[in-house]
Amino acid sequence: MTLSDREYSKQRILEEKEERDRAKQVILLILKQAGGSLGKTKLFKAFWLAHLFYAKNSAGYLSSWKIIRLPHGPGIDKGDDLIFQLKKAGKIRIDHQPKGPYLETVCKLADPGSVQELPKPVSEAIETAVNIIGMHDSAAQISEWSHEASRSWNITPNGNELDIYSDLIPDDVYYERKLKLEELNEVYDDLFR
């Protein structure tokens, strides 16, 4: 039995809502682990790192929400929209704090006690990410680190989804697999010409 176009659309809308809700849960837990408040750029970096640590230590993915390449490092796809939805729902407050001549957007939990706890592997991955973010004085330092460490950030154009999980593969293994895939592509091309 196949789904009709209408049923498929309804199913996809429900799946997208679940994906969005999970991403928002992760954001809230990051803020809670960070003491209830975090600048938006550090929040974006913690989201990225939490996904990497979860994948490294657990089966599956922390969430299926896209992490995209921004000019200064990995970011949450439609992150401003997610933050706005959390603000509108009364889950977070937004403050603006001076940072030199500019204002930094700071996300603050409205009620830390209302944040739904997630399974231990999720909490551990987020805690590790928040601890790493906390070791850096500025978001710029974290961004610079992501430029050095993330292969996917270095090869992906701005605005596109990062293949962050490829960053967990050692360089030599990654390039060996890449060469094998290129060879297979050539064989398939030869077969179908």
SS3 assignment for the chain? CCCCHHHHHHHHHHHHHHHHHHHHHHHHHHHHHCCCEEEHHHHHHHHHHHHHHHHHHCCCCCCCCCEEEECCEEEECCHHHHHHHHHHCCCEEEEEEEECCEEEEEEEECCHHHCCCCCHHHHHHHHHHHHHHHCCCCHHHHHHHHHHHCHHHHHCCCCCECCHHHHHCCHHHHHHHHHHHHHHHHHHHHHCC
The residue extents of the domains of the chain are: 5-164
Model confidence over 21-63: pLDDT tens digits?
999 999 999 999 999 999 999 999 999 999 999 999 998 899 9
Say what the pLDDT of residue 3 is. Answer: 66
Residue 159 pLDDT exceeds 90: yes
Say what the pLDDT of residue 89 is. Answer: 95
Q: What is the mean pLDDT of the chain?
A: 90
